[in-house]
Structure 1
Amino acid sequence: MSAQAKTAEPTVVNGINVDDLLALIDSVKREPAKGKTNWHVTTIWQGQARSRADIESYEIGGEKVPRRFSIDIDEPRELGGSNSFANPQDHLIAALNACMTVGYVAQCAVRGITLESLAIETDGEIDLRGFLGIDPAVPQGYENLSYTVRIKGNGTKEQFAEVHKAVMATSPNFYNLSRPVGLTPALFVE
């Protein structure tokens, strides 16, 4: 072998570096603290019904990783906004769909299934009588969300059913929206 040993190309399926993903899984199995993450978003009112959510970093395994993103949020005109940006419900459903999308892509990748297409459609109803405080018996948010996954690739129906089950069992946002999440509020009046 020459002095310059040839390094193996990473295994990439569906754009996911499977070698890195499996290395992360192995690392977290060996040292569970490396799997601890912390997410932080600051949202600031921008006038009318608009706000901007700023993301500056997140933590993984106790290490802060800088990343800068801003998400502008508004409401439709009918709900008091200017309809300049997607509203909180759009973002909530988009976050659920995006999280599950990552799950489907990664679950397929580690199984060697190449995807041709993937789409998730989610919908739910909110009765404004709850949100507007008109009727305290009416829930303020969703009682149910329904979603349809349309997936195509070189996997069998059985493999895709296995992937579907795995996504529901491991998706953080599926988990977050399918059960109550404790909220710890604090109010500081300035």
Structure 2
Amino acid sequence: MVAQKKTADHTVVNGINVVDLFALIDGVRREPAKGKTNWHVTTTWQGQARSRAQVESFEIGGERVSRRFSIDIDEPNELGGSNSFANPQEHLIAALNACMTVGYVAQCAVRGITLESLAIETGGEIDLRGFLGIDPAVPPGYENLSYTVRIKGSGTKEQFAEIHEAVMATSPNFYNMSRPVALKPALVVE
């Protein structure tokens, strides 16, 4: 069980420093510009169906913060890949689950609820006739995703239901996946 830890200068619940979290919330409430973030990823082809996504930095409140991460992506053998890494759909679902996980952990932390366990299982169906261009009437992506949240901790069923609603209302990736996001494509041929 992850417990609350109190020290002289901060309280940590579920690994989240709630004093820092409340300070962030208060700072953004007072100065909305501090809450503006900008995310950027560059993906390059690595041969066959493999690609590598590079993260160099992000911006928060107009300040650039360096972050260096590499995410390797592939396809299963059956879809032309070498099955070396998770595919784009698995990364998409993992990103949704991870974003919601942060939401549940933080929502519990600010309420003083300690978590014992949290798991999110998500799945959906893609008909390859759309992706392969065989039938233009078939969507090339998910028409719906289903997910189940399994959560256990010191909260009541009512508190967890409230947290569940709060996560759906505030999770960036829940928002991104549940509504159309305008894409602004540009093509540069070199």
Give the TM interval when normalised to the shorter protein: over 0.9
For 1:155, the equivalent position in structure 2 comes to 155
For 1:89, the equivalent position in structure 2 comes to 89
For 1:164, the equivalent position in structure 2 comes to 164
Which portions of structure 1, spanning 4 or more consecutive aligned residues, are displaced by more than 2 angstroms?
A: none
Pair 1:141 & 2:141 matched: yes
- Residues of 2 paired with 1:62 and 1:178: CA distance? 28
- Residues of 1 paired with 2:134 and 2:180: CA distance? 24
For 2:98, the equivalent position in structure 1 comes to 98
1:49: how far off? Answer: 0.1
For 2:117, the equivalent position in structure 1 comes to 117
Contiguous gaps of at least 5 residues in structure 1: 1-6
Secondary structure of the 1:163 match is: helix
- Residues of 1 paired with 2:78 and 2:160: CA distance? 41
Structure possessing the higher radius of gyration over alpha carbons: 1
CA shift digits 1:61-90 (9 cap, x unpaired): 000000100000000000000000000000
- Residues of 1 paired with 2:79 and 2:19: CA distance? 47
- Residues of 2 paired with 1:76 and 1:10: CA distance? 46
1:57: how far off? Answer: 0.1
- Residues of 2 paired with 1:34 and 1:77: CA distance? 45
- Residues of 2 paired with 1:57 and 1:134: CA distance? 39
- Residues of 1 paired with 2:133 and 2:143: CA distance? 17
Tell me the number of residue pairs that the alignment of Structure 1 and Structure 2 aligns: 184
- Residues of 2 paired with 1:86 and 1:144: CA distance? 20
Q: Cα RMSD over matched residues?
A: 0.7
Secondary structure of the 1:90 match is: helix
Amino acid at match of 2:13: V
For 2:78, the equivalent position in structure 1 comes to 78
CA shift digits 1:13-72 (9 cap, x unpaired): 000000000000000000000000000000000000000000000000000000100000
CA shift digits 1:139-177 (9 cap, x unpaired): 010000000000000000000000000000000000000
- Residues of 2 paired with 1:23 and 1:157: CA distance? 28
1:9: how far off? Answer: 3.0
- Residues of 1 paired with 2:10 and 2:131: CA distance? 50
Amino acid at match of 1:135: D
For 1:3, the equivalent position in structure 2 comes to none
- Residues of 1 paired with 2:169 and 2:102: CA distance? 13
For 2:16, the equivalent position in structure 1 comes to 16
- Residues of 2 paired with 1:112 and 1:64: CA distance? 32
1:8: how far off? Answer: 2.3
The 5 A counterparts of 1:164-183 are 164-183=164-183
For 1:4, the equivalent position in structure 2 comes to none
TM-score of the pair, normalised by structure 1 = 0.96
- Residues of 2 paired with 1:86 and 1:134: CA distance? 25
Percent identity (aligned): 88
TM-score of the pair, normalised by structure 2 = 0.96
For 2:53, the equivalent position in structure 1 comes to 53
